[in-house]
Structure 1
């Protein structure tokens, strides 16, 4: 690290010989003067991550006579620890610091504030009270740290933090540290960081602070209305008609990605896939295979386009239409410039509302594309088959109906009907009349006649 001898001596005094993983990720960005939202757990590693650049910045100046660094932290013990770290690391550079915390004496802290040390570390409550009492504003702060933002939010201290920030009148670099990324943290970071970077977050969270790009006016955007139960057929026919350029395909689920991967490989296309459950090593390897040109198709599920470090892609296919317009914008940002570059969405019946929402939100209407020729042919064959089956069923009904009518007519023309059996008076037979012969039939009658 390119630090001054004074700061290096302070690090040596504290036996700081190696950077932690967090510091390796964050210090280059911070030392360049960029705003950042940094994920970090409480502790010395996190504190040193913002203290070292602050001291380097102060030591590089001449005749600093006012407060140039302000650190806001939620509790007294943390404020005191940061104060001690600054004093020890900045000892050889003669950098002064004051802690305005909940445990301090109010009158002593007022005097410390009036003395305008180069660094002030404070808790929101007591710091705001002193600033209001003294009508104090910061005119030369160029380095602002908001420490443990998630904790400040949970302790309901954000109104006080906002009032303190109103008193920082100078242009400054802003660093925000948090151990958890909540919606409140994200909203605050978006409002208070200027072109900030997100450091230490999972790939799925990296889109925070990255505002979606505007959709280029010259980008070719289209969609294909997919016939019922023909989505895969439409997809395969479309890529067969497309060029051999690299293509990224977004699906709504890992299951959908796995299915398309098998189909592509079965048809001798080179493909690889990315999803949220992959290890960092596998993700990097598969991404490298695509960027190096070893495979033509990259299938993506459960990962935002904002998290993909890809450029110069000729075609993006939305196998499933994204419901979020910002995600659509991120995907257009992956497409290279040129006439052949385009983004195509496959719109099934259930996707109609999503494509309508995109059209409304983007202010640009993607053009409806013709179905691929193969799909048109299959659709034609399907309709013809359906038409034949309908005509067959109609002819059967007609034949069955005419036969019955002919039988009825035949009966009427003969003027007679088949005899119907009568079942009343069963002993009398079909006519129902008993006869003398009938009486002498049967076992009982035979016995009577025998013994009579």
Structure 2
């Protein structure tokens, strides 16, 4: 089925062809007509399946269909403050990716409009002043992380009173990162009459609770079947990804990583660790071994994060050692290997980590280092994803510690926590208040 059958205008079809999109993916084929009809959509699709274009293209088309309204808005600087489409994302990197996709497709549409569409991408970690300045002329589409969006609203830089389309991209991760209060406040500022679109690779139970209160008779799209709760199998289709589990002593993981990198002559590897300290530590060890590597975590400046990703994409860096901030929203083509130096705390995050490789039909390899301490947790990941990865041993790196000594019910993780057992900040504050 070609894009021309989905109800998109010739100008958008030209933009699609210039990006060398040959045919719509499954999620695009299902979602674009539903969004163009004005339906609410609850869509689940694997990482790398083209879900960003699945909502970006119909948003642009719907704005193209309203030139008269846009001309009226252009006449008033005050009304121009009010975006018509709002896309909420969990991370800076995903905000930039979605913003760039919008800009690429919107480029060249000005001939079909009375004035060019204005797209604003807003996120924290950088000065708020340039973003406030950029919003002085208003915006038609806003892509934002929740915290920075509310900061700009508090500064009277924009209003949400005219939003007709709301997108929550990576909805599960938005809630995982603790944005529930921010999202609740943002929802209170939106018009009641609007179109709501939820996109994610997984839909745990807390996201389903949110969808029931927001979505109105949504069209449900699953490519393949959506995740219904934290225990069920992931929606990710990992057929293009070879998954391996290598048993190794915790203290020899860095040495094994160096050995595998040289043995297989990998061009690029994305390595996931549990903490920023581990990211800095492992990256430094790799550099000392003669491998060009850099750490990537939330405490780096935005400029340095952008530089690291750029150098990784153009192969100036061979290895990026990242915390889970990189598990979503970073699109790196032709990434051959993802390696879990530390296992993720959540079985769902395993999907998003390994989904950085094997994208858009390419093949990839996902390797997990399994230590005696994390064996039980990996068994839990296998169970929840319906996997069975035989434990490999590499000659010269055979583990000496007894595997499987941790309890499967309370798996110990590499960052010292126990999934579901660590006290939250609120719990700690309550305890302190009770003792005072």
Q: TM-score, normalised by structure 1?
A: 0.45
Indicate the structure (1 or 2) with the bigger Cα radius of gyration. Answer: 1
User: Bigger relative contact order, structure 1 or 2, given CA contacts below 8 A and separation 6+?
Assistant: 2
Q: Which structure dedicates a bigger proportion of its chain to helix? A: 1
